[in-house]
Amino acid sequence: MTESNHSSLKDHFLIAMPSMADPNFAHSITYICEHNQEGAMGIVVNRPMDLSVGDILSHLKIDEYDDTYNEIAVMCGGPVQMERGFVLHRSDPGQWENSQIVHGDICLTSSRDILMAIAHNEGPKESLVALGYAGWSAGQLDDEMAQNAWLSVKANPDIIFATPYEQRWQAAANLLGVDLNLLSDQIGHA
């Protein structure tokens, strides 16, 4: 399959169907950062861990940060490489050591320098810190889409950065006009 006829879900939300049995993804919304013929990678944006951004900053021995970071939850970005940190943010990617543009001004950064900037209120104004990511091998996500495991919709950054995490799943579904509470959890049954 060539890139030109591959239907990429990059910069889309994957919204887990109510029937999703995998506990890593039940009631989740995943922002897709990359999707091509080799596979897909995304960050779950509505699964808070029992860990704050302040905890991460302390662990990295980044001192003198605002106490509000002790109240901001770190998201469980997915079950792959849970020891690896990611910052999903809106800003100029050229400022950070390991940053990639996902779409427009949305970037994914995995270098310590962005956390130091965030701690000193010099980082991006809109950001989400996550540990781990969601990954799919070649064709796997396409197969899951064909099995109706997910709904997909073009991402709206306000859902990532301005909507409380507990409201993001339904907020993303609202972009499609879908009330997830009305969907059956049985595939093929009304």
Q: What digits encode the pLDDT tens for the residues 8-29? A: 999 999 999 988 888 989 999 9
Q: What digits encode the pLDDT tens for the residues 91-136? A: 866 688 888 999 999 999 998 899 999 998 888 989 999 999 999 9
Domain extents in the chain: 3-182
d(CA 151, CA 161): 20
Pairing of strands 29-36, 12-16: antiparallel
d(CA 174, CA 140): 26
Confidence grade of residue 49 (pLDDT, cut at 50, 70, 90): very high
pTM: 0.90
CATH fold of 3-182 reads VC0467-like (3.40.1740)
Q: Is 182 helix (H, G, I), strand (E, B) or coil?
A: helix
